[in-house]
């Protein structure tokens, strides 16, 4: 995540307010720390940074006093290195001649950091943004011009990222893109570059989009694009952007919920890089293996991820795990915990009061505490002996979408590793998620008119898809205000079947291994007049028995539950909008629940 913005102007002037305003407009991308750097005409780099949100840091360090011909602001959403002043960006090189900042993740940061220290470079932080600066510095020190140094650094830096860098004695800024967002703007007497449009549009509507594998050089009156692979110049005309600021912040989507659904393929790919490089992963798995009892603890959506995680761990690692709602954890298991037990605590915000209460009891009993953490620097992170980052960035919409996906993916990764299986099976997931969005959006749209007036429905699953059915039902309840109950499909006949009548909608989430069982459940409802809607891979049996089939890409039993999540999210979103509700801010709900 994170947000970067850089600007080059035609004469030295006050840049602090411009950089602060740009930072405000990128504040949804990062809130752990903020930093500003200006490069003055006298060759001095003025660098000011600290932990906190943009307005507080700007006031504390008097950003409005900062002058220069070039400037960079960065808002950090922490991944590598805890939130701290030294880990805040931008970063300097060893001699203070280069200054730069990034967004994204440098997944080989730990290895690079060791190399830089061995080479005698001045490494001041544990943040991967500093690795971007030193990766350029090492080649500048060997006599390369800065463009060629950036090209070579690009090959050294693994992961998905974009970074901007400036050098004393030049009048340009340079930026490069590999996976993370980057867009440039051209105005009268200035050019600028940013992670995202919202920080640029108040300044100019003349935009140049940067693609992966491209370097952009900015001076006050022109920009130049070059290819990383051969250094050749790219001709690209600027476009005029007419979108409103609100639309720009939402990436052109009408709501944050839809934007965040569409972010899942990219974020899943970034998470896979993060997990392979995470320093705590090996230690965390070893501790889980040794546990007498292993608990997976969360609330709401996070609890559903825990349920799926328990199935993955049993199936792939032969390890029993107990998924449990955080407030019930204390009543049900609090008195039986010991130092031989381990809990994996899961929270989108890292501040969920029920989860923190459960941790307090666990620690009092000496139990091992581990975390799946989306917000680094949160209470959950600090309470955890070891943790894994979820890498979702700031999730603005109240209903959790991308955080659930990455929680579930992290549990699948842990289960594969714990069972000594290859994680190569996960490499296709980002593409499969992209394909699922593209193919199921029109299928879901066809169901909107049939379901928009339904006041009650069920969402049923079995085995690996049971937690997905619960999560789908929760999403429908949250944003449509419809009563939707998630349930194990085989339990439906033990009472709830009595609710079914003519046209009553029942959703079936069908895993490829469980189709025969789901077909029986489908017929138990359709023979009583229900409208059955199946979500699953293309299967003649589902076609023949269900009224509707939302077809998922073929992926196998392990990946299928993750893909099935997508159309349920899309269905909840579409029905919410069709009913005239705002899916981003459903009534009576809060994003972070910090009360009992």
Options 3.60.20.10, 2.60.40.150, 3.20.19.10, 3.30.70.260; CATH for 3-249 is 3.60.20.10
Q: What is the pLDDT of residue 503?
A: 86
In angstroms, the CA 323 to CA 466 distance is 13
Fold of 429-586: Rossmann fold (3.40.50)
Q: What is the pLDDT of residue 276?
A: 87
Which tokens sit at 133? 């600066």
C-alpha distances (whole Å) from 212 to each of 85, 215, 231 are 30, 9, 14
In CATH terms, are 254-427 and 429-586 the same topology? yes
Residue 178 annotated among the catalytic residues of the structure:
no
- What's the distance, CA 135 to chain centroid? 26
Smallest CA-to-CA distance from 196 within 520, 518, 207 is with 207
Q: What is the pLDDT of residue 249?
A: 79
Residues 459, 477, 484, 591: which is the catalytic one?
A: 591
Please report how the helices 466-480 and 560-578 are oriented relative to each other, as an axis angle in degrees rounded to 10: 20
Q: What is the pLDDT of residue 592?
A: 55
pTM above 0.85, yes or no: no
- pLDDT beneath 50: ranges in the chain: 594-595
Q: Sort residue 588 into left (φ over 0), alpha (ψ -120 to 50) or beta.
A: left
Which tokens sit at 17? 């307010």
Q: What is the pLDDT of residue 591?
A: 57
Residue 591 annotated among the catalytic residues of the structure:
yes
Q: What is the pLDDT of residue 593?
A: 56
Question: May I ask the CATH architecture of the domain 254-427?
Answer: 3-Layer(aba) Sandwich (3.40)
C-alpha distances (whole Å) from 470 to each of 77, 306, 509, 576, 593 are 30, 12, 10, 18, 20
Sorted by where each begins, the domain ranges of the chain are 3-249, 254-427, 429-586
Residues 2, 36, 299, 386: which is the catalytic one?
A: 2
φ, ψ of residue 400 in degrees (nearest 5)? -75, 125
- What's the distance, CA 512 to chain centroid? 28
Long-range (24+ apart) CB contacts under 8 A made by 277-286 are 277/107, 277/108, 277/109, 277/110, 277/159, 278/388, 278/389, 279/110, 280/386, 280/387, 280/388, 281/388, 281/414, 281/417, 283/386, 284/370, 284/386, 284/387, 284/388, 284/414, 285/414, 285/417, 285/418
Smallest CA-to-CA distance from 132 within 167, 111, 115, 156 is with 156
Which tokens sit at 205? 């509507």
Q: What is the pLDDT of residue 594?
A: 46
Q: What is the pLDDT of residue 527?
A: 87
């Amino acid at each position: 995540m994170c947000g970067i913005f850089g600007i080059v102007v035609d004469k030295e002037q006050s840049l602090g307010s411009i950089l602060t305003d740009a930072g405000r407009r990128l504040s949804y991308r990062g809130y752990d720390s903020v930093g500003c750097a200006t490069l003055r005409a006298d060759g001095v780099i003025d660098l000011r940074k600290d932990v906190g949100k943009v307005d507080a840091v700007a006031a504390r360090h008097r950003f409005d006093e900062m002058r220069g011909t070039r400037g960079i602001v960065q808002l950090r959403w922490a991944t590598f290195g805890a939130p701290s002043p030294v880990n805040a960006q931008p970063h300097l090189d060893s001699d203070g001649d280069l200054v730069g900042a990034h967004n994204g993740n440098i997944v080989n940061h730990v290895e690079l950091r060791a190399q830089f220290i061995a080479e005698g470079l001045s490494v001041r932080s544990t943040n991967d943004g500093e690795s971007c600066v030193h990766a350029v510095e090492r080649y500048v020190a060997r006599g390369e011009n800065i463009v060629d140094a950036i090209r070579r650094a690009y090959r050294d830096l693994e992961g998905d990222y974009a970074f901007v860098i400036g050098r004393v004695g030049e009048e340009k800024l340079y930026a490069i893109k590999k996976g993370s967002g980057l867009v440039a703007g051209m105005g009268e007497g200035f050019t600028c570059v940013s992670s995202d449009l919202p920080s640029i549009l108040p300044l100019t509507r003349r935009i140049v989009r940067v693609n992966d594998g491209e370097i952009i050089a900015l001076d006050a009156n022109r920009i130049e694009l070059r290819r990383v692979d051969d250094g050749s110049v790219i001709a690209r005309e600027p476009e005029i952007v007419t979108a409103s600021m609100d639309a720009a912040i939402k990436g052109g989507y009408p709501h944050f919920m839809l934007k965040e659904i569409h972010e899942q393929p990219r974020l899943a790919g970034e998470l896979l890089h993060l997990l392979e490089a995470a320093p705590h992963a090996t230690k965390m798995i070893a501790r889980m293996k040794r546990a007498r009892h292993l608990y997976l603890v969360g609330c709401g959506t996070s609890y559903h991820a825990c349920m799926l995680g328990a199935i993955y761990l049993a199936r792939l690692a032969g390890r029993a795990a107990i998924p449990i709602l955080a407030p019930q954890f204390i009543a049900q298991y609090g008195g039986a915990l010991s130092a031989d037990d381990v809990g994996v605590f899961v929270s989108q915000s890292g501040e969920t009061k029920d989860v923190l209460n459960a941790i307090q009891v666990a620690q009092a009993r000496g139990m091992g505490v581990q975390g799946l953490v989306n917000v680094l620097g949160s209470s959950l992170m600090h309470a955890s002996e070891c943790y894994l980052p979820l890498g979702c960035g700031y999730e603005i919409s109240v209903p959790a979408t991308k955080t659930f996906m990455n929680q579930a993916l992290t549990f699948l990764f842990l289960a594969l590793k714990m069972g000594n299986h290859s994680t190569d099976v996960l490499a296709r997931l980002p593409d499969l998620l992209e394909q699922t969005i593209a193919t199921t959006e029109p299928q879901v749209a066809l169901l909107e008119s049939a379901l928009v007036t339904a006041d009650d429905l069920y969402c049923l699953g079995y085995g690996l898809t049971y937690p997905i059915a619960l999560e789908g039902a929760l999403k429908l309840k949250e944003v449509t205000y419809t009563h939707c109950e998630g349930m194990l499909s085989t339990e439906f006949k033990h009472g709830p079947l009595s609710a079914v009548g003519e046209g009553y909608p029942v959703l079936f989430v069908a895993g490829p291994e469980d189709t025969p069982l789901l077909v029986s459940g489908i017929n138990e409802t359709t023979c009583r007049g229900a409208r059955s809607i199946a979500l699953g891979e293309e299967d003649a049996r589902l076609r023949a028995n269900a009224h509707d089939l939302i077809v998922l890409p073929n992926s196998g039993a392990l990946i299928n539950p993750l893909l099935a999540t997508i159309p349920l999210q899309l269905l909840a979103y579409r029905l919410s909008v069709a009913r005239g509700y705002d899916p981003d801010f459903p009534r009576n709900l809060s994003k972070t629940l910090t009360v009992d």
